[in-house]
Amino acid sequence: MSQRRVAITGLGLVSPYGGNTDDFFTRLCAGQSAVGHLLTDDVPRPLSIPFVSCSGFDPDVALGKPLASMMDRFAQLGMAAAFEAWDNAGLARQADGESRDDWGVAWGTALGGTLAYEKGYRELWQQGRERLSPLTVILGMNNAANAHMSIQLGLGGVSMSHTVACASSAIAIGEAFRRVRSGEATIMLTGGSDVPQAYGVARAWEALRVMAPGDAETSAVACRPFSVDRRGLVLGEGGAALVLEDWEHAIARGARIHGEIVGYGTSCDHSHLVRPEAAGQVRALQLTLADAGLNPGEIDYVNAHGTATTEGDPVEITALKTVFGNHAERLAVSATKSMHGHSLGAAAAIEAIATVLALREQTVPPTAHLAQLDPACTGVDHVTTARTGQPLRAALSNSFAFGGSNAVLAFRAVVQ
């Protein structure tokens, strides 16, 4: 079966910056941190942490109150991003005569509806209730977001959710790409959403001791990937969606093409649940390049996984140097999590959009707050202020997850 080209015709996200994808990219290029300080209330013990919140998002406004009431916040964020991407692609929300039986959804989430479940636990154990809302399961299930997308947009093709920790939406995007490329689908709506704001989730991550400390004055610069003084990641919420479309179908309907997705590779370290391994990441990078038919020297930019953990950052740089060899020193690398935080299952989709926009705008967004590079992270071209004027032909977006799951996406710039 011949392989088809896959166009990216729609982009949408719910961002802590508000606005749209273009505004999001402008803020990234300005090095503007969205990290704030979250002090939880109505909990057994207040938890004060740096966090990235989409505080301006009103689901009743974005979706309408009847639809929003049927969703946990993770699905609300995802549905709003999906609607924006769909509109951005110039597609009608209701089928206009063309069959959508081979149009589908692939969505990523690490947590699903944890807020709904935590609400239920509190009602049972703290308030002593005997019955829960009959919507609890519907709100909490991991496939709630993609199910609503299929219903709202009349998509009769595959509807699947992927839960692979921090690589969830990268794998969702990769699997959607494969379906369009093979001809199994004409259009795939894909991306991810997550909301790690539940008190139990935040306390669980706190217990891992991988979260950056901070207070109201220092939270904005708490996430410092590749920096010698980095102290961990910053959690955040978000939703991001892309429309992947058969190239010829997109051209025939006169769609705007933001970029082209050309490769996808995934691997497992198979060595440790939480400690990353360079060899596994190397395999994912090599598989992606082979899948895309690209040589290492043709990659101009990598949006790094870059979570600012002490172990993870040097391992990723080692993997890049292994794969790219002499080209590594000319390879532009940045970690945008320094600004938008780590939204777990949504992170890869947010970073995929940042990578596509970098190619479209021919501008590399920076790693913010990187004042002094860790000697263990040298050997690549770290971008610390937005860079223009350097031709960008192709780029990679890395996502490496607990459980040893690695996923890499390859994108190519499109000259309109």
Q: Which residues are catalytic, by number? A: 166, 305, 342
Amino acid identity for residue 405 in this structure? S
Give the strand order in the sheet containing 187-194: 159-162, 103-108, 187-194, 238-246, 6-14, 259-268, 405-412, 394-400, 301-303, 332-334, 381-382
Amino acid identity for residue 190 in this structure? T
Residue 260, beta-bridge partner list: 7, 412
Question: Measuring CA to CA, how many Å separate 236 from each of 5, 15, 109, 140, 286?
Answer: 33, 10, 13, 19, 30
Helix, strand and coil in the chain, % to nearest 5: 40, 20, 40
Residue 243, CB-side half-sphere exposure with 13 Å CA sphere: 31
Separation of alpha carbons 368 and 366, rounded Å: 6
Length of the chain: 416
Contacts of 277 (CB under 8 A, 6+ apart): 269, 271, 315, 404
Cβ(396)–Cβ(288) below 8 Å: yes
Amino acid identity for residue 384 in this structure? T
Please work out, in degrees rounded to the nearest 5, the angle formed at the alpha carbon of residue 164 by the alpha carbons of 119 and 411.
125
Residue 204, beta-bridge partner list: none
Cβ(71)–Cβ(53) below 8 Å: no
Cβ(259)–Cβ(196) below 8 Å: no
Cβ(317)–Cβ(377) below 8 Å: yes
CA dihedral 409, 247, 413, 319 (to 10 degrees): 20
414 burial class (0-12, 13-18, 19+ CB within 10 angstroms)? middle
Separation of alpha carbons 159 and 188, rounded Å: 9
Please work out, in degrees rounded to the nearest 5, the angle formed at the alpha carbon of residue 77 by the alpha carbons of 134 and 198.
65
